[in-house]
């Protein structure tokens, strides 16, 4: 299967920039393991300060994206991680209550151009 590329955005609260960057400098090994088991590779998060945007990109290399994302959401250490990070963020999606819930927390963006050359 060809990999699926994902790009997502969310707003970072200005008061949380330093803390957010600090915890992401040392992501918990169990969280990284959950991502690896869910076929997530080449994951990065970028910060655009003028708009307080976080921009996440990753590749999904598995066969069942929804099932693998459910496994990540059910992982206890990932849930603990999200309990920390979600409070630092503001979702653009109306009704969103946090990561791993029925309503997505991060906004997934449409890919409009790709050059694989």
Q: What gap in Å lies between CA 54 and CA 46, rounded to an integer?
A: 6
Among all residues, which ones are annotated catalytic? Answer: 24
CB 54 within 8 A of CB 47: yes
């Amino acid at each position: 299967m060809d990999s699926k590329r994902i790009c997502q955005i969310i707003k970072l609260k200005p008061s949380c920039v330093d803390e957010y960057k600090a915890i992401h400098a040392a992501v918990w090994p169990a969280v990284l393991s959950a991502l690896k088991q869910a076929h997530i590779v080449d994951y990065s998060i970028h910060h655009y300060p003028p708009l307080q945007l976080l921009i996440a990109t990753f590749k999904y290399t598995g066969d069942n994206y929804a099932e693998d994302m459910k496994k990540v959401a059910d992982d206890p250490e990932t849930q603990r991680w999200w309990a920390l990070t979600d409070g630092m963020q503001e979702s653009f999606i109306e009704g969103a209550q946090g990561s791993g819930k029925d309503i997505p927390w991060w906004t997934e963006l449409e890919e409009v151009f790709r050059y694989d050359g």
